[in-house]
Amino acid sequence: MGEIEDGEADHITTDVQGQKCALVCECPAPESVSRKDNLPFLNAVLKNPVCKLYRFPTSDNKWMRIREQMSESILSFHIPKELISLQIKEDLCRNQELKELGELSPHWDNLRKNVLIHCDQMVNMYQDILTELSKETGSSFKSSSNKGEKTLEFVPVNLHLQRMHVHSPHLKDALYDVITVGAPAAHFQGFKNGGLRKLLHRFETERRNTGYQFIYYSPENTAKAKEVLSNINQLQPLIATHADLLLNSASQHSPDSLKNSLKMLSEKTEHFVHAFKDQLVRSALLALYTARPGGVLKKPPSPKDGTEENSSQDPPPPMRRQDSIPHHSDYDEEEWDRVWANVGKSLNCIIAMVDKLIERDADSEGSSGGGQDGEKDPSLVDSIITHPKEDWYEQLYPLILTLKDCMGEVVNRAKQSLTFVLLQELAYSLPQCLMLTLRRDVVFSQALAGLVCGFIIKLHTSLHDPGFLEQLHTVGLLVQYEGLLSTYSDEIGMLEDMAVGISDLKKVAFKIIEAKSNDVLPAITGRREHYVVEVKLPARMFEILPLQIKEGQLLHVCPVLFNVGINEQQTLAERFGDVSLQESINQENFELLKEYYTVFMEKMPPDYISHFQEQNDLKGLLENLHQNIQAKKRKNVEIMWLAATICRKLNGIRFTCCKSAKDRTSMSVTLEQCSILRDEHQLHKDFFIRALDCMRSRQTQGALNESDDPETGCLSDNKPTSRHFYPVALLLVSSHLLVVWLILSLALLLAKYQ
């Protein structure tokens, strides 16, 4: 946010003496906030800001000024709609590939028909959800009261930016951003059987132990099959385009253009060839061979051998009918090697031809420049080059055609075999498999919407920081989630969903492009295993970026989750339940954070690291965090403080999540803000509690309470508030009070459900 204007400063000095809350005023016009921030581009992402102004004394009796702002984000709905559209296209493409799988034995054909029926139903469901989302108008965020609605299940709950701008007399102005959002979870589907972490593990265990009807492929192999299929779909049209550009350069007789076109064609073709150097493709081809009716292997005509331009195709071998299940010896495994190797051979022929054309052209120019015919080197008179200079196009065209034919043969076989791998995943326990896919899509959509919002805000805030921009394209961006879910009842399932959804963010990369129009909303491309989010910047902002980012380098993120349950239910879980889920999540994510720190220290420039180490004792903080995770202390909030501090010092994005991003989230965020004022900006120690109460008061923090919905705009004064953690604080004083509290709680529960 921008600096506070002088007019505001005069107004701030007029607070009433003796008032507990140091709130000065509420910014009435959102436009003024955008103007002062000098970041109008953020208006495309943030809407309806609510701004509060405070002043607090420092330790040397001077005054600091604080502006607190909470904003909605229209990405709450935009990102899910983009994502669902992509998933519909992906599923339609997969269904078409299943239909084109060819003739299968009755067993596999029946499975395929069953899979297609269920997949078509899922596509229709996604289309209905997308239609309903497109009708949504009004509020740009989903309220907690709607978290169980089916049509809104892809939308995150209460996604907001919580921003604190500190204008301190000692330090330069500072911004502190936290994205608050409800824990990514499938609330509509419920948590009766647990969340994604448990459901996926159970599903894979059962599928691994399934009977003879299916062929088991590990999740890694299934993901690899999807990756290769995606590479095929991307590389084949690119290679065809570069091949046409090569022919165009040949028709123009431009040696330089011919070299450049050949370089691009070679790079893409080599990527294409290497994509099939995997044992999975071989095993999938054999599995598909055994699934053909009666063991019939239908071999299309062999592609042209790239070493012989004009050789005729060999006739297809006669089809052989085997017993019901053919033996491995009936399948020629070397045939696949020959098929995809022909692509490389065809490319080599094109390279040789281009080299000879350019060499002959250079020799002819040198000969004519000498003013005499002179004898040419016999080695340059190759049998391939028998046409005059004007026939470059005609000499390259047959080789390009051969390359495309060989590629078509490879693509046809690889697509069918890898689609057969995907059929295995879908055929087993069809309803459960598709419902797991739906649940994972729902959770991922909620997590991605928050991530994109946080990335764009962080990019705009740090756009003029060269160190951050270098870190962004060299190491990637750290994204730290603070979870406040308990390991009790339904929140166990929410935490399991959240852990998988945040882990899935590793397959997201960002790409920054220059905006060509007024539409600056981010766009998404890719597939479920790898998404690319394109962030658009105006030209004046795009020019600030380093060359690597401007050239389209993908920017990766490192998401980590640390969870500490802090409510009354967590007390029950720690006394009588199981907290192993929380412990394992924290330990796993500490290893990820430690790995990010190691890469950061290795790849960042030494001068930046030396300056960085002077300001931040990150190694000590990491060791302290590890000790606290290993200590297994009850309600160890030190884990949250340390993780948040490390994230801020590593230029990361901070998220705070609980069930609905209201009560516990507001408690955590306000406490973090006051702690920052104390530790970083010398807030007077006697005013820490006052500042905390001020930020949490109903008059200044209306909205973040379980009994007071911000979206409804009403207060329920007759309901008790847990904003100050009075129950938890009392329970920590004495074990006797805990026993009394448990007895009273059980009595209330019995009375409630009788």
Task: Let me know if 21 is a catalytic residue.
Answer: no
Tell me: do 289 and 388 sit in the same domain: yes
- Top pLDDT among 481 and 406 is at 481
- Top pLDDT among 741 and 570 is at 570
Per DSSP, 538 falls in state: -
- Domain end point (choices 111, 139, 167): 139
Residue 276 three-state SS: coil
Considering the domain boundaries, does residue 303 fall inside one? yes
Domains of the chain: total: 2
Element (H, E) at 296: none
Considering the domain boundaries, does residue 471 fall inside one? no
Tell me: do 224 and 94 sit in the same domain: no
Say whether pLDDT at 361 is over 60.
yes
Tell me: do 252 and 363 sit in the same domain: yes
What lies within 8 Å, CB to CB, of 627 at 6+ separation is: none
- Domain end point (choices 401, 427, 453): 427
Per DSSP, 58 falls in state: B
End-to-end Cα separation, the chain, in angstroms: 53
* Structure token pair of residue 286: 């054999």
Considering the domain boundaries, does residue 314 fall inside one? yes
Tell me: do 236 and 96 sit in the same domain: no
Please provide the average confidence, as pLDDT, over all residues in the chain: 79
The CA-based angle 102-103-108, given to 5 degrees, is 105
CB–CB of 430/118 below 8 Å?
Answer: yes
Reported pTM: 0.78
Q: Which pLDDT tens digit goes with each residue over 173-205? A: 889 999 999 999 999 999 999 999 999 999 888
Considering the domain boundaries, does residue 254 fall inside one? yes
Across the range 469-497, mean pLDDT stands at 93
Across the range 664-687, mean pLDDT stands at 90
- Top pLDDT among 539 and 358 is at 539
CB–CB of 269/403 below 8 Å?
Answer: yes
Question: What pLDDT was estimated at residue 333?
Answer: 66
Question: What pLDDT was estimated at residue 704?
Answer: 38
| pLDDT winner (highest mean) among 280-289, 302-311, 585-594 | 585-594
Question: What pLDDT was estimated at residue 7?
Answer: 35
Question: What pLDDT was estimated at residue 392?
Answer: 81
Element (H, E) at 536: strand 530-537
Q: Which pLDDT tens digit goes with each residue over 246-281? A: 888 888 887 888 888 888 888 888 888 887 777 888
Question: What pLDDT was estimated at residue 270?
Answer: 86
DSSP per-residue codes, 159-225: -EEEEEEEE-SSS--EEEEEEE------TTT-STT--HHHHHHHHHHHHHT--TTS----HHHHHHH
- Domain end point (choices 376, 400, 427): 427
Question: What pLDDT was estimated at residue 646?
Answer: 94
What lies within 8 Å, CB to CB, of 93 at 6+ separation is: 233
Question: What pLDDT was estimated at residue 294?
Answer: 64
Say whether pLDDT at 242 is over 80.
yes
Tell me: do 127 and 223 sit in the same domain: no
Spatial distance between the Cα atoms of 481 and 495, rounded to a whole number of angstroms: 12
Question: What pLDDT was estimated at residue 27?
Answer: 58
Say whether pLDDT at 354 is over 80.
yes
- Top pLDDT among 47 and 306 is at 47
Percent of the chain with pLDDT over 70: 78
Tell me: do 134 and 274 sit in the same domain: no
Tell me: do 124 and 250 sit in the same domain: no
Considering the domain boundaries, does residue 390 fall inside one? yes
Tell me: do 275 and 379 sit in the same domain: yes
Tell me: do 272 and 408 sit in the same domain: yes
Confidence bin at 39 (pLDDT 50/70/90): low
Tell me: do 271 and 415 sit in the same domain: yes
Tell me: do 273 and 367 sit in the same domain: yes
Per DSSP, 15 falls in state: P
The residues facing 46 across adjacent strands are 73
Say whether pLDDT at 11 is over 70.
no
Say whether pLDDT at 325 is over 90.
no
Q: How long, in residues, is the chain?
A: 754
Question: What pLDDT was estimated at residue 735?
Answer: 57
Q: Which pLDDT tens digit goes with each residue over 91-140? A: 999 899 899 888 888 888 998 999 999 999 999 999 999 999 998 877 78
Considering the domain boundaries, does residue 334 fall inside one? yes
- Top pLDDT among 304 and 671 is at 671
| pLDDT winner (highest mean) among 44-53, 501-510, 687-696 | 501-510
Across the range 653-657, mean pLDDT stands at 96
Considering the domain boundaries, does residue 158 fall inside one? no
Spatial distance between the Cα atoms of 258 and 355, rounded to a whole number of angstroms: 10
Question: What pLDDT was estimated at residue 219?
Answer: 81
Element (H, E) at 506: none
Considering the domain boundaries, does residue 353 fall inside one? yes
Say whether pLDDT at 616 is over 70.
no
Q: What is the domain range of residue 411?
A: 219-427
Question: What pLDDT was estimated at residue 189?
Answer: 93
In the sheet where 653-657 sits, what is the strand order?
23-27, 46-57, 63-73, 160-167, 174-180, 653-657, 477-483, 555-563, 508-514, 530-537, 523-527
Across the range 591-597, mean pLDDT stands at 96
Question: What pLDDT was estimated at residue 220?
Answer: 84
Say whether pLDDT at 480 is over 60.
yes
Tell me: do 364 and 275 sit in the same domain: yes
Across the range 135-157, mean pLDDT stands at 87
CB–CB of 388/357 below 8 Å?
Answer: no
| pLDDT winner (highest mean) among 81-90, 289-298, 600-609 | 81-90
Q: Indicate which residue of 658, 674, 694, 714 is catalytic.
A: 658
CB 19: neighbour CB atoms within 10 A? 10
* Radius of gyration over every alpha carbon of the chain, rounded to an integer in angstroms: 32
Across the range 679-693, mean pLDDT stands at 89
Spatial distance between the Cα atoms of 641 and 645, rounded to a whole number of angstroms: 6
Range with lowest mean pLDDT among 67-81, 372-386, 730-744: 372-386
